[in-house]
Structure 1
Amino acid sequence: MKLLHIADLHIGKRVNEFSMIEDQRHILSQILTIVRDEKAEAVLIAGDVYDKSQPSIEAVELLDEFLTSLTEMGPAIYIISGNHDSPERLGFGSRILGKNRLFIAGAFTGSLQETLLEDAYGNVHVFLLPFIKPAVVSHYLDQSVETYDEAARMVLDTAKIDTSERNILLAHQFVTNGLEMPEHSDSENLSVGGLDNVDASAFILFDYVALGHLHRPQTLANGLLRYAGSPLKYSFSEARGKKSVTIVELKEKGTREIRTVDLFPLHDVREIKGPLAHLLQMGTEDVSGNQDYIHAILTDEEELYDAIGQMRRIYPNLMALDFDNSKTSQTNGTTAICSDDIERKQPIELFSDFYLQQNNEELSAEGLAVLKDVFAQAGGKEL
């Protein structure tokens, strides 16, 4: 049986105030092509379908288009809610949709939802575990639950898992494997100190666990658990990575093969670094790459006129611009302004100290003259 595993679509997401809708439409179209070409018998969508609990109209319409096309292809479709989704909204109409082999586990209702698939090797049990918190599990199981790990284990213990047959699980949690910490990116919401983690040992009875929540594709526990990753890069911390869908082939019990199929975005997410003139020339010559989402780091030492305006004329999708030069580098000789300085120094002296801290150089004579004139016009007396 061939399964296609994706997660963390975050439909409707905005990155640095740029709408990702057209990028998401482009990548979902690619996923449909992969489903068709691979002849996938089931599609697993492991949470964070939407980016917000109250998705925009265009986000709802895009998901509707995607799922309509997907159901027409014929595979069974399994969806769980993630921490960004509204479980109730995502699960609306799920009992009706189930008749068309579109199975959605929105809100957790006290136990795992289970459905059955069959192939030449026998039964495949598919279990759906939407994103859960300890308080929710405590409510349904009427027991005190303190940690995410404890919550997941208690829910999984309620399931009747036949270990003689093949079992797969969809889950949307932060899963760790003992001391093995999975890679994460800046676009994810994780608790400080990893308080929301679930240990991989909780899932030992399954043949494959399709995970969502972390945006970097990766496997844990020798391939037993896999994060498919998000289909698009949603932060510059992912700039050097590649996005893909995961293909899982289940044969006889105990045999699984995992591979990936690369995805190609409408606009890549990249970081570029160098002097302004060099980056402008590079973008002029690269007429396709200059449409990417760009984080530019300028290394010029001299003052630049309208750097962001110049960059955006060549890179219209410039998302962020920073400087990295001697002025922005910290030196041992620079110290902070203390409260005693504020009491005894005149305003112009304080500003000069601040300028030194920010630029790693003394205020020039010309700059000091301009500053004195500004203070005089503002009514300053002692300069």
Structure 2
Amino acid sequence: MIFMHMADLHIGKRVNEFNMLEDQRYILKQALSIAQNNKVDVMLLAGDIYDKSLPPGEAVALLDEFLTDIVHNGMKAVVVSGNHDSPERLAFGRKLMQSEGVYVSGVFNGEMNILSLRDDFGLVNIYMLPFIKPLHVKKYFPKNEIDSYTQAVKTVIDNAKVEDKMRNVLIAHQFVVSSGVEPMRSDSENISVGGLDHVEASAFDIFDYVALGHLHHPQSIGRDAVRYAGSPLKYSFSEAGAKKEKSVTIIEMKDKKNIKISKIPLTPLRDMVEIKGPLKDLLDPENHKHQGLDNYIHATLTDNEEIIDAISKIRSVYPNVMKIDFENSRTKTVEADSVAKDVTEKTSFQLFEEFYKINNNEEMEDKQKELVRGLLENMGVVI
């Protein structure tokens, strides 16, 4: 049986007020093409399908389009809700969809939904675990000690009585770590401060493959078969750069313990790129002729002089500038050891000189000094 593992679609997301729907439609069609070329049997979608619990209509329409394309191409889809999803809304029509090969986890009721599929090697059991918190689980197991996310997940798995001689796949949406080691993260994720939501990877030892969602960087946790697919698109500039490549995960499962896992890269409609330098250099055709001008841009300008309407100037070349920052002598941190020392012994001009240096990280020019002296003299201030 061949699976494709995806997660964290965040359909309907806006990044720096840019609507990502066109990019999401493009990347989902690309993923579908990869699935067709690899003869995928089952698509595993591990949570955060939508970006908001109340998704906009256009986001719902895109998910409908994607799931319909999956089914029309002879595949099944298994979907769990993530922390961004409303499990009730995501599961609307789930019983009707099952007849077409789309299996959506319902609202958590103390048990995992199980889908059993057969191939040449026998049955494969797919367990569906939506995003859960200890409070959700304690409701159904009041006598159990459930003070952590790991205990909550282990309680649900132990109660499922998974048969270890069978081939078992889990699809889940949690923050999983191995021996306390922090996995790779990005700024676009919503993780609890202090690691309170950690789940130890050892909780999943009984499963042959664990399809995780929640973290946006593709990576394995603890062992190769406990894996985050990562988001199909970059959703923050912390992921900018060629090394932060997005992908889908293909899992070819034969008999027990015979699994091949591979990554296939995704190419976005627009990448996230960071550029830096003086405005003149950034706008020079010689410097950007080999760059994708339609990419989403974070520009850092290093000009010392003030630039009026800088973002409009940048957008004349890079229409999809999302963010603009300044890094120059005025924005750098300066030492102010002598600023408050001996104030009463300094002239007004000396104090102004120090004030100017703190705010601009540079000395005043001679013409500026003459101007300030003239202003102070006209005001009758002793300089």
- Asked if TM exceeds 0.5, the reply is yes
Give me the whole-angstrom Cα distance separating, in 1, the residues matched to 2:310 and 2:372. Answer: 24
Pairing 1:329–2:332 present: yes
- Which letter maps to 1:301? N
Structure having the higher helix fraction is 1
- Which letter maps to 1:15? V
Give me the whole-angstrom Cα distance separating, in 2, the residues matched to 1:373 and 1:14. Answer: 52
Tell me if structure 1 keeps the 8 A contact 2:70–2:76: no
Residue of structure 1 equivalent to 2:197: 196
Unaligned runs of 5+ in 2: none
Residue of structure 1 equivalent to 2:234: 233
- Which letter maps to 1:289? G
- Which letter maps to 1:174? F
Give me the whole-angstrom Cα distance separating, in 2, the residues matched to 1:289 and 1:134. Answer: 46
Residue of structure 2 equivalent to 1:306: 309
- Cα distance, 1:87–1:382 mapped onto 2, change above 3 Å: farther
- The alpha-carbon deviation at position 125 of structure 1 amounts to 0.4
Give me the whole-angstrom Cα distance separating, in 2, the residues matched to 1:321 and 1:141. Answer: 51
- Which letter maps to 1:113? N
- The alpha-carbon deviation at position 370 of structure 1 amounts to 8.4
- The alpha-carbon deviation at position 213 of structure 1 amounts to 0.3
RMSD over equivalenced CA pairs, Å: 3.0
Unaligned runs of 5+ in 1: 376-380
- Cα distance, 1:255–1:374 mapped onto 2, change above 3 Å: farther
Give the SS at the match of 1:141: coil
Q: How does 1:141-152 map to 2 (within 5 A)?
A: 141-143=141-143, 145-152=146-153
Give the SS at the match of 1:100: coil
- The alpha-carbon deviation at position 363 of structure 1 amounts to 5.5
Give the SS at the match of 2:332: coil
Tell me if structure 2 keeps the 8 A contact 1:335–1:357: no
Identity of matched residues, % = 49
Give the SS at the match of 2:160: coil
- The alpha-carbon deviation at position 65 of structure 1 amounts to 0.9
Q: How does 1:159-170 map to 2 (within 5 A)?
A: 159-170=160-171
Residue of structure 2 equivalent to 1:378: none
Tell me if structure 1 keeps the 8 A contact 2:177–2:222: no
Q: What TM-score comes out, normalization by structure 2 length?
A: 0.90
- Which letter maps to 2:6? I
Tell me if structure 2 keeps the 8 A contact 1:283–1:315: no
- Which letter maps to 1:358? N
Give me the whole-angstrom Cα distance separating, in 1, the residues matched to 2:103 and 2:141. Answer: 24
Residue of structure 2 equivalent to 1:27: 27
- Which letter maps to 1:159? A
Give the SS at the match of 1:223: strand
Give me the whole-angstrom Cα distance separating, in 1, the residues matched to 2:57 and 2:371. Answer: 53
- The alpha-carbon deviation at position 371 of structure 1 amounts to 8.8
Q: How does 1:117-136 map to 2 (within 5 A)?
A: 117-136=117-136
Give me the whole-angstrom Cα distance separating, in 2, the residues matched to 1:67 and 1:238. Answer: 27
Give me the whole-angstrom Cα distance separating, in 2, the residues matched to 1:274 and 1:226. Answer: 38
- Which letter maps to 2:140? Y
- The alpha-carbon deviation at position 303 of structure 1 amounts to 3.3
Which residue of 291, 294, 312 maps to 1:291? 294
- Cα distance, 1:282–1:184 mapped onto 2, change above 3 Å: farther
Residue of structure 2 equivalent to 1:67: 67
Give the SS at the match of 2:69: helix
Residue of structure 2 equivalent to 1:10: 10
Give me the whole-angstrom Cα distance separating, in 1, the residues matched to 2:284 and 2:40. Answer: 45
- Which letter maps to 1:249? E
Q: What TM-score comes out, normalization by structure 1 length?
A: 0.90
- The alpha-carbon deviation at position 365 of structure 1 amounts to 7.2
Q: How does 1:329-368 map to 2 (within 5 A)?
A: 329-331=332-334, 333-334=335-336, 355-362=356-363
Residues paired across the two proteins, number: 379
